[in-house]
């Protein structure tokens, strides 16, 4: 049981380049989330998708876009990468839409450096 | 490994001791709380959760205590092992919202 799978695990970009971070879950969860984690700060929500076909902004959405491709997959796109977007990105999923008090389950992250 | 938190509070214990990790939460409307463990280079791993209508919940070697009066949450780990070394953080769900709010974490170091 893989859980939440993120690709790639590591990436180095130049300022202005674009890329898409991929996330897939095999737990049949309805809700999916993208977070960034920076030193000294808690996880911050970028975007989330409460259910297939819906997406909403989180705490720090600027500079990012998302696509909920289907129930399993939720991608995060950086259109024009900036050094401030250097971070570790985590995808998570949960069954919150069906059962209110459900924890989120996380992938192992994408370590992104922007030069 | 990466630096999840450069200046995290650190708790150092000996193997076999009991560990207590604390978390102060911010919102009196929070109705659900989760503890996560994060090892270096890994994603957060769910440990245990508790709803606000409970004061205590036990798992395998772990206990979570909730004090709503002072908005305080604690994680107790019994017979701490070197494999418990990680960063631990709490998350709160504010009633009516779809989102969790995460703390910055405490680093637990277990020496043999």
Q: Per-residue pLDDT averaged across B74-79, rounded?
A: 97
Across the interface, of A90, A101, A106, the residue whose CB is closest to B32 is A101
- Looking at the complex, report in whole angstroms how far the Cα of residue B81 sits from the nearest Cα belonging to chain A: 23
B96 CB-contact burial (10 Å; exposed 0-12 / middle 13-18 / buried 19+): exposed
What does the pLDDT read at residue B95? 78
In 3D, which of B112, B111, B104 has the Cα closest to residue B21? B104
Percent of chain A topping pLDDT 70: 97
Is the model's pLDDT at B3 over the cut of 50?
A: no
DSSP string, A44-112: EEEEEESSTT--EE-S--TTEEEEE-SSSBEEEEESS--GGG-EEEEEEEE-TTTSSS---EE---EEE
* Optimal mutation site among A38, A51, A101, A102, interface B, most CBs of chain B within 10 A: A101
Residue B75 contacts residue B66 (beta carbons within 8 Å): no
> Which among A40, A45, A56 has the least Cβ separation from residue B104?
A40
Greater pLDDT, B108 or A102 = B108
Q: How far is B59 from chain A (nearest CA, A)?
A: 15
Query: Per the CB < 8 Å rule, is A42 touching B103?
Result: yes
pLDDT band at A99 (very low <50, low <70, confident <90, very high): low
| Across A75-104, average pLDDT | 90
Q: Is B7 exposed, middle or buried (0-12, 13-18, 19+ CB in 10 A)?
A: exposed
Q: Confidence band (pLDDT; 50, 70, 90) for B108?
A: very high
Q: Which residues 54-113 in chain A show a CB within 8 A of chain B?
A: 56, 58-59, 88, 90, 96, 100-101, 103-109, 111
The β-bridge partners of B107 are B10, B87
Please tell me what DSSP assigns to residue A9: S
Residue partners of A30: CB distance under 8 A and separation at least 6? A50, A51, A52, A71, A94, A95, A96, A97, A98
The answer to whether the CB atoms of B43 and A103 lie below 8 A apart is no
Could you tell me the end-to-end alpha-carbon distance of chain A, in angstroms, rounded to an integer?
36
For B83, phi then psi, to 5°, come to -70, -10
B54 pLDDT higher than 50: yes
| From B16-20, B63-67, B81-85, B93-97, the region with the lowest mean pLDDT | B93-97
Residue A33's CB is within 10 A of a number of other CB atoms, namely 27
Q: Rounded mean pLDDT of A1-17? A: 94
The count of CB pairs under 8 A between chains A and B is 62
Which of A31, A56, A108 has the CB atom closest to B42's CB atom?
A108
Task: Dump pLDDT digits (tens) for A22-74.
Answer: 999 999 999 999 999 998 788 999 999 988 999 999 999 999 999 999 999 99
For residues B66-81, give the mean pLDDT. Answer: 96
Q: Which residues of A touch B41 (CB under 8 A)?
A: 108
State whether A88 and B34 contact (CB < 8 Å).
no
Whether A22 contacts A109, CB under 8 Å: no
pLDDT, residue A39, reads 84
Look at A100 and B80; give whichever has higher pLDDT: B80
């Amino acid at each position: 049981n893989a859980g939440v799978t993120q690709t790639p695990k590591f990436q180095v970009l130049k300022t202005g380049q674009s890329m898409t971070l991929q996330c897939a879950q095999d737990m049949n969860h309805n809700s999916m989330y993208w977070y960034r984690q920076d030193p000294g700060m808690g996880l911050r929500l970028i975007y989330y998708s409460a259910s297939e076909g819906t997406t909403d902004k989180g705490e720090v959405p600027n500079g990012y876009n998302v696509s909920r491709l289907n129930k399993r997959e939720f991608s995060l796109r950086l259109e024009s990468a900036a050094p401030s977007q250097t971070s570790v990105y985590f995808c998570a999923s949960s069954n919150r839409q069906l059962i209110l008090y459900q924890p989120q389950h996380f992938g192992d992250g994408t370590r992104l450096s922007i030069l | 490994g990466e630096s999840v938190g450069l200046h995290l509070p650190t708790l150092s214990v000996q193997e076999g001791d009991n560990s207590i990790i604390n978390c102060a939460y911010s919102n009196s409307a929070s109705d659900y709380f989760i503890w996560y463990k994060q090892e270096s280079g890994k994603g957060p791993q769910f440990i245990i959760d508790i709803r606000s209508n409970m004061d205590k919940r036990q798992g395998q070697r772990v206990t979570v205590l909730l004090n709503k009066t002072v908005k305080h949450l604690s994680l107790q780990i019994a017979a701490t092992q070197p494999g418990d070394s990680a960063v631990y953080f709490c998350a709160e769900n504010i009633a009516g919202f779809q989102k969790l709010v995460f703390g910055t974490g405490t680093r637990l170091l277990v020496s043999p």
